[in-house]
Structure 1
Amino acid sequence: MTDPQDSLIPDAIGTSGSYGPFAYLSTPNAPLYRRVMRALMAEKERFTVHVRPEQVCLALRADGGESVEEGTVSEALERLSQPGWANLLAFPDSSRVTALADFYRRRMLYQMSRQGEAAERALAQYDVALGTTGALQSVALEDIVVLLTNLRDTVTAHSGGEPVDAALTHQTLRSLRERFAELAENAVAFMGSIQRTIDLHNADVDAFLAYKEQLIDYLERFINDLLTRGASIAELLGSIPQSGVQLLAATAAEREALDAAPGESDLAFTSAREVWLRQWSGLTDWFVSTPSRESESKLLRARARAAIPALLAVVRALHENPGGRSDRTQDFLTLARWFAELPTDGDRHRLWRSAFGLVPVRHLSVTAATEDAWASAELGNTTPWAEAPPLEISPQLRRSGSYERRGKSVRVMDRTGAKALLAERARLEVEQTEAARRRILTNGPRPLSAFGDLDPEAFQLFLGLLGDALAAMGPQGTTSQVHTSDGELTVTLTRTPGIGTAVITTPGGELSGPDHLVDIVSAVYAPDAGSAPELSAEAYA
């Protein structure tokens, strides 16, 4: 049937904005229109030029969806062919006219318009992108290593005087670009799907628990592959000089410029070469880190590693949830239902004693004779007190109401001395820490070898700061800056080429290693007057 809100969509969408073929998506009958467009797209892929309404109706009945009458399909086809949307082209169907009366009946053939086909392909691509979960492709890493090795060999052979196979080089570059694009896009989609899995784990607990073991193994395997093959890829990229990159980009651009229109070959060559150089730069940035930023592969590896403890935390929370604090309301409701189902009051009393622990008192001490009398009488829970043997209690309990003899209360200990001792120890520790901090202040960049002897407190503080700075610098960095947790000290560490060996002497031994320039600055107090003079990096070099 005709969409009651179709008239609310202006025809100007299709003419001025060129987005008319998407307009049916915002109507109440959008699901029907979507099915009709899919059926027409399937007919076009089978090279069917024109389609009749009955053919579309049969296709809709075969797609597994809700059955639709032929009249409803005809109205949908007619609406999709209107100028406002223009998804379809309509032509009179005169092939089956056998009588004069047939000319007065509206018979139409429908064909997808150019705009409608473009819109349908865009929607199909949208559905595919929305439904994909991505993958971490270890095979793509292997392929990238092989392709980069071939390109490196090509550049090396050209530097030795051999000609370049333009067709093979162009095809290798295209394959490298495709594999890299698949790797990057799938990795982003996969990590996004993992985060959704972690955030929405309560949707299906059993499925999540069954899935997490395979997922963790999958992540660990990819992390190992990315660590090993990523290093190989970075090494291959570094082995190809910039002149070799220019050669590869120019070779691929020349082949692509052959298909350019007459008079546009030079512009096509320049444009294609710039595109290839940008893509090579993106590939390099993805695998090679610099002092100013981490590579995308390293960030992906860190994100995959962080996903494993997050998954384990979710599993731990799921296992701990059944044993957590329960709601007593449900327990009381269950107990009330049991009371209502019991047939006699005696059963209800027994359930009451079992549920709330109402048993005979156990805090009174009885004599052995009383216990023997109870045992010989074989008393039951319903025996009245008057018929049971008497309870013999201690005379001390009868006189004072307590078994214990009251004595002198315990004196309260005076802990003033212990508190003073703890305060003195805390003060001494603070003074030692401040002295150690003043001892390692540099008053400007200083080499490690200039520190000389350090006392244990200063050396322990200095060693911790040096370790944090080296970790922040990394194996490829040249400088780093870290701060202590309280923000009082700032440490700047610089690696210098052609550096020597530094030796720092402590009462516990000597620390030796590559010399660095270190600058330790305090935000609270200035360094001692006897500190070493400021040394610049140029003077030290």
Structure 2
Amino acid sequence: MDERVFKPVKEASYLTAGNAWRYRAILRFFYQRYERMQHFLLPEEVLRHLKRFPHFRDYTEEQLQQDLSQLVEWNNLVPRQDTGRIQTIEEFKKRKFRYQLTPYTVELERMVMALEKMGDGYGGSLERTLFDRLLQSLLTLTERDDEGEHRVFHWSDERIYRLWQDVANDFHELTRNAMDYIAHLQSEKVEERMKEEAFFAFKEVVIRYLRDFMISLQRTSYRIEGLLEETDADFVRRLAERLADYELSIPRLEERPVREELVERRIGEWEDLKRWFFGDGGQEAELVYLQNTTNETIRKITRFAQRLGETVHHMRSRRADYLHLAKWFASLETLDEAHKLSACVFGVFRTRHLKVEEPKGTESLDVEVWEAPPAPVILKPRITAYRERVKPNAADDHTARKRAVRETYLRRKEEEQLLLAELIRQDRIALRELPPVKPVVRKTLLSWIAKSMAHPERIGKTETGRPFRLEVASNRIIRLRAEDGVLEMPDIVFHFD
């Protein structure tokens, strides 16, 4: 792990200090001017800006100098003496400074502003085009010429770097936005809104949005996985070396990074990309997790909408419907017409369903039910005291068949014992010395190994009760030949007492 992880971030102290409201107001003004390409500010400009707000009505120049000194100590600001407008020695002795934000503070303010815009929600989105853009960038990156060489290595280092930046940015934006949006849908606040009636009209839009994303994901993910599988380690290292050469070619005044560290960082980024699509060490891939989570979210939204619809339907008054049906029935002239209307509206009353075991005579859809041959149905009384009559049957004598089965089993076991007895030489069986054996012998030897390996001293007994001890004679692998194949196993010897 990088040693910098264990060091405190002193630059973030201004966010939680006792006078954080003053420090944050000062640095926010510095950041706003930094965004307008004004990198150096004088204390008078800062004080003039702060005086515009009621919170700083009693704020003095001495307090500002103290706050600026504290921010310099926390490495949020860098002071530089202003010698451009000095006209006297006294002004030079006063040491007027201009102040500039440090890179850490710029990134901290940028992050804080992003958090303020995000609010309490997760944000994020499921952009279908990101998969297409990532696929297109990988196709360009791994494209080969007629001779089988990757075209990308004929480009300049700068062009390769720009293409790699497109791949990395699309991948990070895809994963970050997708996870944030799924977390947004699974948050407690959104689940509470799903229970409101206003969500019923919004449901179809969300489901269509998720399904379109899933279709795009499934259409492009297989092609991306194929491209990642086809790339070998040599291509990844050559690509990482070209990217490192370009980064080293950029003139920088600070300490230059080590080339091998840059190469390993790029290789790690490529491995992260593969791990997201394929998983690592038996762990489920993030792609599969995203697919399962999206499908589960669709099912959850559908269930919420179904329950909401059932609630609304249950609470809705049916008075108008019943009045309409009553007027309809009242307008009929005969009872027969009323029976037909009742059958259409309410269905058949007191229906009885019968199930027959006999197969149907035909599967044709053109054959009506009354055209098929009838099937008999036996109706049984529905009383608790009813019992079916059972005819008494004679008891069959299976003594002869049992005796034959027993004799066959004993004969087979005796043959097995004779085969095993032939293998014992001087109270031992060395598997490396055995000729080709029968499958039953191989199974017996493996069962002996299993019995002895379960004992701490590797001791076991045969089926006839004869004790033995297992020994691994050497570290080499032997081949035990049988009639149905060859088994590679350790050099095992059985010693019998």
Q: TM-score, normalised to structure 1's length?
A: 0.46
Q: TM-score, normalised to structure 2's length?
A: 0.50
